[in-house]
Amino acid sequence: MGNQAKTAITPTRNEDYPEWYQQVIKASDLAERSPVRGCMVIKPWGYALWENIMRSMDAMFKTTGVQNAYFPLFIPLNFLEKEAEHVEGFAKECAVVSHHRLEKGPDGGLVPAGQLTEPLIVRPTSETIIGDSFAKWVSSYRDLPLLINQWANVVRWEMRTRLFLRTSEFLWQEGHTAHATQAEAIERTHMMLDVYAQMAEQYLAMPVIKGRKTPTERFPGAVDTLCIEAMMQDRKALQAGTSHFLGQNFARASQIKFQNAAEKEEFAWTTSWGSSTRLIGGVIMTHGDDDGIILPPRVASSQIVLLPIIRKDKDRDAVMAYTESLARELRAQHFHHQPVRVQIDTRDIGGARGWDWIKKGIPLRVEIGPRDMANNAVFVGRRDKGHRDKTAMARDEFVAGIASLLDEIQQNLFDRAKAFQQQHTTQIDDRQTFIDYFTPANTDKPEIHGGFALAHWCGKDACEAEVKNDLTVTIRCIPLDSPDEPGVCVYCGQPSAKRVVYAKAY
């Protein structure tokens, strides 16, 4: 390798970013492909990360009055047919159950039997099946609002899959609400987008842009779709959460009606909103380096690993007693309203042990040997500062300051990602500059391009489609804080009212 620094992941981000992503997942033991095409097995280290994301987000939902429930995995075909735009949007991704048992065929193999009178759809999303329940639960304005969330799996039969980012089956939460007024439903739509932005930035250390989707990019059947968009290290956008104002479209389809205070019947106003295990992909691509994933402390599967160094058998009992005592002291500390999460790794695998935890992205690695014990100290490595970072610290100082240290790591990750986003976000007003910005200088690496372009758009679907067709670039969102700014469309030259965010995306 000559003078080239050793890295745990091959290839590096600069050499082959898509393959680097796959290798980070493998090296960090987050997940693996399953025997079912397009599906994944989430391994314990990855599932613990998802559990921490779920726990934090669930608490945020409940603070806004949301309650959890669960609805069927199977949806009758006629439910989807009630909302024409909705079924058209999901038709190509639906998995369909047409039979209810297996029988032995003529050759002795198993064949489907017992054809269903009506096919069942494996849920791609649950607006229709939940709408059916809402219609039963609501009769008066006094029954509203209904604020429901479910943690579940969904199936969308994707043609091209990538672990965590786009799989045929994935885990998510989907919130569904019904309201007596349009204003209240719109307020809820924005409220839940704010929750997602808070989750992304304060927990995942992932800076986002809050915005509105264009009509062609809206959720099928929605009146309005809001989203958060994050920039990954290959400068592509990742849609990390969406919140939809559904108007009365789904209420009409599901007959969610109520008597208002004047005893007149009207349809409810509904919303839906969702985020998924795609957030884990976002964490990998926002913070990962050429040694693996880097986990933000607030959601990390574990926050500290203690690595006892035992070179002589006579030291074993003393080192382990010191290590276990330290673990108890650390677990008694609290970080962000939770006990500090600590692991002890006693595996006898030499230097591979440290590299294993570097690849897994644990925020702090703590080595403990006889010399450290003699000094009542610990040897601490910070993952956010790279694999070479190690510092001796007094034990008492380390324990007392653990919350501050984890907060510092959390903030450092966010600041670094924010600086990267700002560095690769450019205001563009010239068509050729716009084209060049999204045209890779190296044709062998089509994923490398400019980043986010803040540019004017005329508002016409045809122009939006032309940009997508020519450059594989989409309007990620119209930023909610984008000021009115008369100009001309960067692509067709027609009048424009404000700038939008253009980017290539996952």
Host domain of residue 332: 304-406
Query: Does residue 470 carry a pLDDT above 60?
Result: yes
How large is the greatest C-alpha to C-alpha distance in the chain, in angstroms?
84
Q: Verify that 50 and 162 share a domain, yes or no.
A: yes
Q: Verify that 176 and 64 share a domain, yes or no.
A: yes
Q: Is residue 296 part of a domain?
A: no
Query: Does residue 2 carry a pLDDT above 60?
Result: no
Q: Verify that 114 and 76 share a domain, yes or no.
A: yes
Tokens 């690769």 belong to residue: 424
Instruction: Quickly count: other Cβ atoms within 10 Å of residue 374's Cβ.
Output: 8
Q: Which residues contact 167 (CB under 8 A, 6 or more apart)?
A: 38, 39, 40, 158, 161
**Banded model confidence at residue 443, pLDDT cuts 50, 70, 90:** low
Chain centre distance of CA 33: 19
Q: Verify that 63 and 187 share a domain, yes or no.
A: yes
pLDDT digits (tens, 9 = 90+) for 348-381: 988 899 999 999 999 999 999 999 999 999 999 9
Give the mean model confidence (pLDDT) for residues 108-126: 96
Q: Is residue 454 part of a domain?
A: yes
Domain boundary residue among 378, 406, 434? 406
Query: Does residue 270 carry a pLDDT above 50?
Result: yes
Instruction: Quickly count: other Cβ atoms within 10 Å of residue 269's Cβ.
Output: 28
Tokens 């004017």 belong to residue: 456
Q: Verify that 308 and 272 share a domain, yes or no.
A: no
pLDDT recorded at residue 351: 86
pLDDT recorded at residue 3: 43
**Banded model confidence at residue 140, pLDDT cuts 50, 70, 90:** very high
pLDDT recorded at residue 158: 86
**Banded model confidence at residue 142, pLDDT cuts 50, 70, 90:** very high
Give the mean model confidence (pLDDT) for residues 297-320: 95
For residues 139 and 123, give the distance between their C-alpha atoms in angstroms, rounded to a whole number.
26
Give the mean model confidence (pLDDT) for residues 464-469: 98
pLDDT recorded at residue 241: 98
In angstroms, how far is the first alpha carbon of the chain from the final one? 33
For residues 269 and 228, give the distance between their C-alpha atoms in angstroms, rounded to a whole number.
23
Q: Verify that 348 and 245 share a domain, yes or no.
A: no
SS3 233: coil
Q: Verify that 384 and 460 share a domain, yes or no.
A: no
At residue 441's C-alpha, the angle toward residues 439 and 443, to 5°, is 85
Q: Is residue 2 part of a domain?
A: no
The CATH number of the domain holding residue 355 is 3.40.50.800
Query: Does residue 432 carry a pLDDT above 50?
Result: yes
Lowest mean pLDDT among 189-198, 434-443, 459-468: 434-443
For residues 364 and 356, give the distance between their C-alpha atoms in angstroms, rounded to a whole number.
13
Strand 377-382 with 364-368, pairing: antiparallel
Mean pLDDT, the chain, as a whole number?
Answer: 95
Q: Is residue 95 part of a domain?
A: yes
Torsion sign, CA atoms 14, 20, 21, 27: negative
Give percent helix, percent strand, percent coil of the chain, each to the nearest 5.
Answer: 35, 30, 35
The CATH number of the domain holding residue 168 is 3.30.930.10
Above pLDDT 90, what percent of the chain?
90
For residues 244 and 175, give the distance between their C-alpha atoms in angstroms, rounded to a whole number.
10
Query: Which residues in 319-436 belong to E strands, given as ranges?
Result: 334-335, 338-339, 342-344, 364-368, 377-382, 391-394, 425-427
Give the mean model confidence (pLDDT) for residues 410-438: 97
Q: Verify that 268 and 183 share a domain, yes or no.
A: yes
For residues 429 and 458, give the distance between their C-alpha atoms in angstroms, rounded to a whole number.
13
Instruction: Quickly count: other Cβ atoms within 10 Å of residue 467's Cβ.
Output: 22
Residues 278, 158 contacting (CB under 8 angstroms): no
Give the chain's domain count: 3
Q: Verify that 212 and 160 share a domain, yes or no.
A: yes
Q: Verify that 52 and 141 share a domain, yes or no.
A: yes
In terms of Cα–Cα distance, which of 136, 157, 226, 214 is closest to 190?
226
In terms of Cα–Cα distance, which of 490, 479, 491 is closest to 227?
479
Q: Verify that 138 and 39 share a domain, yes or no.
A: yes
pLDDT digits (tens, 9 = 90+) for 69-89: 999 999 999 998 887 788 788
For residues 342 and 333, give the distance between their C-alpha atoms in angstroms, rounded to a whole number.
11
Lowest mean pLDDT among 70-79, 401-410, 411-420, 438-447: 438-447
Residues 274, 253 contacting (CB under 8 angstroms): no
pLDDT recorded at residue 451: 96
pLDDT digits (tens, 9 = 90+) for 213-260: 999 999 999 999 999 999 999 999 999 999 999 999 999 999 999 999
SS3 281: helix
Q: Is residue 5 part of a domain?
A: no
Q: Is residue 11 part of a domain?
A: no
In terms of Cα–Cα distance, which of 196, 212, 184, 273 is closest to 480?
212
**Banded model confidence at residue 388, pLDDT cuts 50, 70, 90:** confident
Q: Verify that 246 and 323 share a domain, yes or no.
A: no
Lowest mean pLDDT among 3-7, 222-226, 290-294: 3-7
Domain boundary residue among 287, 316, 340? 287
**Banded model confidence at residue 5, pLDDT cuts 50, 70, 90:** low
Cα atoms found within 13 Å of the Cα of residue 342, Cβ hemisphere only: 22
Q: Is residue 9 part of a domain?
A: no
SS3 127: helix
Query: Does residue 428 carry a pLDDT above 90?
Result: yes
The verdict on whether omega for the bond into residue 145 sits within 30 degrees of 0, i.e. cis, is: yes
Query: Does residue 473 carry a pLDDT above 90?
Result: yes
pLDDT digits (tens, 9 = 90+) for 486-505: 999 999 999 999 999 999 99
For residues 48 and 45, give the distance between their C-alpha atoms in angstroms, rounded to a whole number.
5
Q: Which residues contact 82 (CB under 8 A, 6 or more apart)?
A: 128, 253, 254
Give the mean model confidence (pLDDT) for residues 114-140: 97
Beta bridge partners of 212: 226, 478
Q: Is residue 8 part of a domain?
A: no
E strand or H helix that includes residue 229:
strand 224-231
CA distances (Å), 195 to each of 51, 250, 310, in order? 17, 24, 46
Query: Does residue 440 carry a pLDDT above 90?
Result: no
